[in-house]
Every structure is written in structure tokens, then in C-alpha cells.
Amino acid sequence: MDGLKKEVLKKPYKLLCALALLLCVCKEIPEHCGNYVLIDPNTGRCESEDPIAEGSGTEGPSTHFVTWNTNGGEPLLWEITVNHGDSITAPSMTITKADSGFGGWYIDSDFTTLAVFPITVTEDKTLYAKYMPPPADNTKYTLTISYNSVGGTVTVDGVQYTGPVDVTSGKTVNISAETSQGYRFDGWGLQGGAVISNASANATTVTLSANATVNAKFTEIVESTFTDTRNGGKTYKIVKIGGKWWMGENLNHDTASGDGSWCYGQGGQVFDGKENDTLTSSQIQANCRKYGRLYTWNVANTACPRGWHLPSSAEWQTLVDSAGGSAGKKLRAKSGWNSYDGKTISGNGTDVFGFSALPGGRRMVRSFYDAGGGGYWWTATEGGSGLASDRYMDYNYNDNVGENYNDKLDGYSVRCIADD
């Protein structure tokens, strides 16, 4: 808390800000919570300070508020905070209202423009739920679902789809897609008179106002392997996403000099939010096998094997865009992430592309943080004096892939991308 601006935090608000920061998007370890300042002590609203060094001439990412106006529908949805430039998808839960069918999300309260997800957020935004009144009669329409049966199966109201289904106009129908091994689900397509509540979610709803065809998009996952012949050789899983080959694991290459890279916990204490701890040699080596190594930015730029390189921030953004809405959840591994509440609400992802992002934590000033809770990867993009861009994913923040600018001497993971 010492890093917070004194002119912003007057004495009466210090305790309030400490509580408010728990509700803010405080992405840094406790002593770095100074990246956020209390803007409104009545609401607890905080905003991010410029993470770029003064005089660098480059501004860091800001955050925006997204409000879901359910217009009397249930359940009520919380306002969310989104990094500038990140994308959002429609909520996965079904929105219902008595005697009405859900008619989709709109970007204006007059319901003139339907929201097309994913939406890139560059300002505060409110989305409005529209409802369709029940039909005057029991008009029936035909719902047809097309899909590649090799890639998966589809259910309609809990029953496996085998052919066209008659649906009463205005009635909300539950549809769900289940992928086969080696395939991923890339969302729902639509032709005809219908509204899909969340076109990117495996399980969603559709409401018909005319005959309609819904397409479940199953895509084969393209995977292979690559052997790094250095240090006796290590074979990595590689995956093709958005036309680019990425390593499906964090880099685990020990540098020639032994400087500038570490296994998590090597040569320093581990901070778990409660107390510091020193790991045993076997624990440290197990972390390297699981998470790969952590690198300074300078070392990371030369750590990838021949034919591969450290991706730029733009290349990471292409990966995120290719993954689509909720990219963080789609790129996170299916296991290995902490739970939101420490018990039942999993922070694991769906790993639909085989990217298998793991929470390898990070090294800062000879201490280690966040293994199990956060994954941080250097990009090749510099962001100011002594700073560089990194991409991160969290188990308890949201399903996006964020971007920060941090000290080049910090230790972060590396994902290599193949040269063109």
C-alpha cells in the first residue's frame, strides 16, 4: 500500500481503499497495488495508474466497466471490469423473464442494434436484454441443426438431436454441443428467424420467430511435436492456432550461463499470500518439469530454439483473436489452476486448442509468486524505459488474456512461436 499516491489517498480513506482494492482489478502482488488508486470512496471504484515509466511517452492499458441491463429478467448480472482492448462474450447463463422469450443483447436501450459477440471493449459499455412477447397463437416453426457428426454431438432440450424439431414461436429452447476427442467447438452459426443468446458457448438457448437453421461448428485440432536438440533434447507439443504454430508447453531450456532463468522457487522464497517459504530441490525441479522456466526479458528474447522466436504483443493478440470470446478460458489447461473459492469453483480452462496454458507464476526481486493462480508470458514488445509487455491469464479474474508492462528483470514464462 505504500506505493499508492499520497495525494489520492487521504488518511480517512486508507482502510477503505485497502478493502476497495480487493474488489478492484489489482493484478499485482500486494506491494505493487499502487498501480491502482481509489477514485470514488463511496463506491470503492479504482482506476489503474499508468504502468509505463514516466517520460517513456507510452501509455499503459486502462480498464472499462461493462454493465449487463437485464431489464427485469433473471438472474441479475454483476458489472464487470475489462482491460482496454480485451473482448467480451455474452453471459453463459440463460436470462429469463415471465411470459417472455429472450430476444438477445442489444447495444442500445431502444433495441435497434443487436450486439455481435465477441465485442472489443474500448470504453465503458452497457448492454440491454431484449424480450419477445409470447405469440398470440401457437405458431410452430422448424428448428434444424447442422453439424459434422464426427466432430461431436448436439442436444436439444436435453435430447440428442436426430432431425428437425418443431418449436412454438417465442419459446426458448436449450441447445448444447459436446465435442469428440481431437475436435474443438467454435460456436454456433445461424440462418433464419431466431436469436441465440450466446453464440460462442457450448450450452446456450435459441428462440425462434421463423424457421431457422443453427450450425454447430466443430473444428479438428491440429497438433504435432517439435524436438529442441539443445541440452540433450526436449520434445514439445506444438499446436496450430490462427494459421500459426505455437508451442503447447512453456519453454524449459536452461541458459548456457545459468543466468537469467530459474525454475519456480530456485534461489529465492515463495510467497503464497500468507507467508514466505523455501522449496526443496526436488520441489524446484518438479516445478520446472510442470511449468517450464522463468526468464528475464533479455534472456527470453534469445531463449527459443532455431526456427522459433519470442512472439510480439501483436502475435499474441492474433492468438487471442483466433481463440475468440473468452480466449483465456479456451487457452487455459483443463487442470492445474486454483479454484475461485479454494474448494469447488474451478479456475481451469477448456483447452479447446491444445494450448494448455498453465499458471507458472513469476519471479520478482528474488521472490516467487502466483504459481497455481496466474500465468505470465513475455512478449518481444518493449513498453518504455526498462519495461516490456507481458500477457497474463488468471484463475479468478475473468476469461480474457490481459496485458501488462513490467520490469525486464522480472522472471516470466515463455511460449515460442514458429518463424514464418
* Mean pLDDT (whole number) for 233-253: 94
- In this prediction, residue 387 carries a pLDDT of 96
Q: What is the pTM of this model?
A: 0.60
- Tell whether 98 and 232 lie within a shared domain: no
- In this prediction, residue 407 carries a pLDDT of 96
- Tell whether 264 and 116 lie within a shared domain: no
* Mean pLDDT (whole number) for 127-133: 85
- In this prediction, residue 271 carries a pLDDT of 87
Q: Is residue 34 part of a domain?
A: yes
* Mean pLDDT (whole number) for 188-199: 87
pLDDT confidence band for 90 (50 / 70 / 90): confident
Of the candidates 169, 193, 220, which is a domain's last residue? 220
Q: Rounded to an integer, what distance in angstroms lies between the CA atom of residue 233 and that of residue 236?
A: 10
- In this prediction, residue 60 carries a pLDDT of 45
Q: Is residue 58 part of a domain?
A: no
- Tell whether 195 and 71 lie within a shared domain: no
- In this prediction, residue 328 carries a pLDDT of 92
- Tell whether 20 and 69 lie within a shared domain: no
Of residues 193 and 42, the one with the higher pLDDT is 193
* Mean pLDDT (whole number) for 17-46: 43
Residue type, 126: T
pLDDT confidence band for 250 (50 / 70 / 90): very high
Average pLDDT over all residues of the chain? 82
- Tell whether 25 and 73 lie within a shared domain: no
The three-state secondary structure class of 30 is helix
Digit-coded pLDDT (tens) for 301-322: 999 999 999 999 999 999 999 9
pLDDT confidence band for 7 (50 / 70 / 90): very low
Torsional sign, CA 273, 80, 341, 18: positive
Q: Is residue 6 part of a domain?
A: no
Q: Rounded to an integer, what distance in angstroms lies between the CA atom of residue 361 and that of residue 368?
A: 7
Please give the tally of structural domains in the chain: 4
Quote the distance between the C-alpha of residue 261 and its chain's center.
Answer: 26
- In this prediction, residue 95 carries a pLDDT of 81
Q: Rounded to an integer, what distance in angstroms lies between the CA atom of residue 58 and that of residue 228?
A: 36
- Tell whether 362 and 413 lie within a shared domain: yes
- Tell whether 254 and 359 lie within a shared domain: yes
- In this prediction, residue 147 carries a pLDDT of 95
Q: Rounded to an integer, what distance in angstroms lies between the CA atom of residue 113 and that of residue 121?
A: 16
Query: Contact 281/392 with Cβ under 8 angstroms?
Result: no
- Tell whether 234 and 380 lie within a shared domain: yes
- Tell whether 89 and 192 lie within a shared domain: no
Of the candidates 101, 132, 163, which is a domain's last residue? 132
- In this prediction, residue 83 carries a pLDDT of 84
pLDDT at 274 over 80: no
Q: Is residue 79 part of a domain?
A: yes
Cell representation of residue 193: 428467424
Strand duo 234-241 + 223-228: pairing: antiparallel
Q: Is residue 230 part of a domain?
A: yes
Nearest Cα to Cα of residue 367 among 262, 228, 281, 280: 262
- Tell whether 405 and 298 lie within a shared domain: yes
Q: Is residue 56 part of a domain?
A: no
CA distances, 218 to each of 93, 147, 154, 183 (Å): 22, 7, 11, 6
- Tell whether 351 and 414 lie within a shared domain: yes
- Tell whether 330 and 345 lie within a shared domain: yes
* Structural domain boundaries enclosing 112: 63-132
pLDDT confidence band for 168 (50 / 70 / 90): confident
Highest averaged pLDDT of the listed ranges 24-38, 270-284, 321-335: 321-335
- What does the H/E/C string look like for 77-138? CCCEEEECCCEECCCCCCCEECCEEEEEEECCCCCCCECCCCEECCCCEEEEEEEECCCCCC
pLDDT at 137 over 70: no
Of residues 198 and 161, the one with the higher pLDDT is 161
Of the candidates 186, 220, 254, which is a domain's last residue? 220
pLDDT confidence band for 419 (50 / 70 / 90): very high
pLDDT over 90 for what percent of the chain?
48
pLDDT at 121 over 70: yes
Query: Contact 51/57 with Cβ under 8 angstroms?
Result: no
258: CB partners within 8 A, 6+ apart: none
- In this prediction, residue 377 carries a pLDDT of 98
